[in-house]
């Protein structure tokens, strides 16, 4: 009887951990989609050595896009 209870407890802990991991995965996926969307909109180009010219218009556009997207996303999550 105690063994069944212990197994049920472990299964419940697994479900809770799995739900938390799925939520974190969704958050990461959403952030990456937002950043890729902003990079596409601003025609930002990545290089193996990083962004070459940080003063380029694409970099500033990207920063503004990500900031606005983040603010909009967090404002909607509290409603």
- pLDDT of 20-71, one tens digit each? 999 999 999 988 999 899 999 998 876 666 666 666 678 888 889 989 888 8
Cα distances from 69 to residues 4, 19, 42, in angstroms, run 48, 26, 13
pLDDT score of 38? 92
Task: Write down the residue that tokens 């940080």 correspond to.
Answer: 54
Alpha-carbon distances of 70 from 31, 62, 63, 66, rounded to whole Å: 9, 12, 11, 6
Overall pTM surpassing 0.85 (yes/no): no
């Amino acid at each position: 009887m105690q063994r069944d209870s212990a197994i049920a407890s472990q299964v419940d802990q697994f479900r809770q951990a799995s739900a938390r991991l799925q939520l974190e995965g969704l958050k990461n996926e959403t952030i990456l989609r937002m950043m890729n969307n902003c990079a596409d909109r601003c025609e930002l180009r990545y290089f193996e050595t990083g962004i070459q010219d940080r003063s380029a218009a694409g970099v500033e556009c990207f920063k503004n896009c990500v900031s606005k997207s983040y603010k909009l996303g967090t404002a909607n999550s509290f409603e």
